[in-house]
Structure 1
């Protein structure tokens, strides 16, 4: 069975910035075809649960408080690879 990396919040893990999940309703259909490997780049990059929401601006990632959290997102992305 093929492996597929999937955001951990999409399978029901409560790792979103607000401590909730974002489970997709068709997750069981995916499990028929793939071995899902859950991964949260934010958490793997060292961010907490819960945490302030973040967004990309001008090639960097900033929390809503204005803190540059780019290094956490880059580290999480590197670990995913």
Structure 2
């Protein structure tokens, strides 16, 4: 699946925040979503490039990928199990 083909169910913007906020906000949003839904997280903290995939691995969620545009990272996470 190409990232450009992904239609997220929820888009959450955390631009202007830094660790640990992007992780805690991701967890909060994933808890509210249904299994199978996709979250697009938009952040400008470069730490998310490593932190979000690691969080997905730890929590059993599926990290679909990311791209960077104009200093913002767009990360895609699929909820595959309850937190």
TM-score by length of 1: 0.27
Q: Which has the larger share of strand?
A: 2
Which of the pair has the greater relative contact order for Cα pairs under 8 Å at 6+ separation?
Answer: 2
